[in-house]
Amino acid sequence: MSNVIVTGASRGIGFATVEALAGRGDRVVAIARFDRGSEHVAKIAEPLALDLSSTADAERALEASEAMIGRCDAMVLAAGVAEHAPIEDVDAARIDRHFAINVRAPLLMCRDFAKRCKARGAPGSIVMVASTLGIAPAKRTSVYAATKGAVIAMTKALAVELAPIGVRVNAIAPGVVDTEMTRALRLERGEAMPMGHERARREDEQMAAFARMHPIGRVGSAGNVAAGILYLLDAQDAVGTVLVLDGGLTAGSA
């Protein structure tokens, strides 16, 4: 049994990972803003309400987590923000928000985790959640793709730096995964959000279009990504690995 921190734990890939870890008997601190409640998480893990866009919250995440469950052996850094827009609509606030959550917070938490592992002489494992958009970006994803490219780069840099002290760092790069974030409608500039049946129809059309992008003919599932994360947490020879789990999306034309 391991003690694991999971960020972005209230939904999507983060919550699926919490479920998978708890299901095999690990103790988990589930970090999220929890602005919509934490009851579903509290049944299987220890919820910890933090806003990782805040430097102060990111820097107290390790100490607060270990106060709850003791020495943490591993981290899964799944928290992220994705707000896609054409470049002419991008402002400094959008850039800062993406880099604060997607890049700065993971770096700060990796720093603090490495310090603890080194001081204890204990091994550790970190898995970052990247994206195929960090490998093969699409239009209107410049800011998000930049952050996920940074996640991939820092995974490799940290893997080389921390391997000598027994801390393995890896990343998973999913394609399109069926989550609330993915189902959020991509609207044209100035378009109002549709409501009711029209909104549901548009969401279904959007997901069908995403499915057609993948040679496998469907989008990924959060549960399958979580299974890949658990593999990387445990695979002793995985160091600096970026596991692409994308249904063939980046392999070539369907």
Give 65-95 pLDDT, tens digit per residue.
999 999 999 999 999 998 888 899 999 999 9
User: Does the residue 144 lie in any domain?
Assistant: yes
Q: Are residues 126 and 188 in the same domain?
A: no
Confidence of residue 190 (pLDDT cuts 50, 70, 90): low
Residues whose CB falls within 8 Å of the CB of residue 80, separated by 6 or more in sequence, listed in order:
8, 101, 102, 129, 147, 181
User: Does the residue 251 lie in any domain?
Assistant: no
- Where in the sequence is the domain holding 187, given as residue range(s)? 179-219
User: Does the residue 143 lie in any domain?
Assistant: yes
Among the listed residues 15, 113, 144, 210, the single catalytic one is 144
Contact predicate 71/121, CB 8 Å: no
SS3 per residue for the chain: CCEEEEECCCCHHHHHHHHHHHHCCCEEEEEECCCCCCHHHHCCCEEEECCCCCHHHHHHHHHHHHHHHCCCCEEEECCCCCCCCCHHHCCHHHHHHHHHHHHHHHHHHHHHHHHHHHHHCCCEEEEEECCHHHCCCCCCCHHHHHHHHHHHHHHHHHHHHHHHHCEEEEEEEECCECCHHHHCCCCCCCCCCCCHHHHHHHHHHHHHHHHHHCCCCCCECHHHHHHHHHHHHHCCCCCCCEEEECCCCCCCCC
Which pTM does this prediction carry?
A: 0.91
Q: Are residues 155 and 112 in the same domain?
A: yes
**Residue percentage of the chain with pLDDT more than 70:** 94
User: Does the residue 30 lie in any domain?
Assistant: yes
Q: Are residues 10 and 111 in the same domain?
A: yes
Q: Are residues 136 and 199 in the same domain?
A: no
User: Does the residue 208 lie in any domain?
Assistant: yes
Over residues 107-127, the pLDDT tens digits come to 999 999 999 999 999 999 999
Residue 144 appears among annotated catalytic residues: yes
Confidence of residue 36 (pLDDT cuts 50, 70, 90): low
Q: Are residues 188 and 226 in the same domain?
A: no
Burial label, 171 (beta-carbon count in 10 A; 0-12, 13-18, 19+): buried
pLDDT at 1 (0 to 100) = 85
pLDDT at 185 (0 to 100) = 59
Over residues 202-247, the pLDDT tens digits come to 777 878 888 888 898 888 899 999 999 999 999 999 999 999 999 8
User: Does the residue 253 lie in any domain?
Assistant: no
User: Does the residue 31 lie in any domain?
Assistant: yes
Reference 159, options 53, 246, 232, 60; nearest CA is 232
User: Does the residue 201 lie in any domain?
Assistant: yes
Contact predicate 54/37, CB 8 Å: no
Q: Are residues 234 and 194 in the same domain?
A: no
pLDDT at 85 (0 to 100) = 87
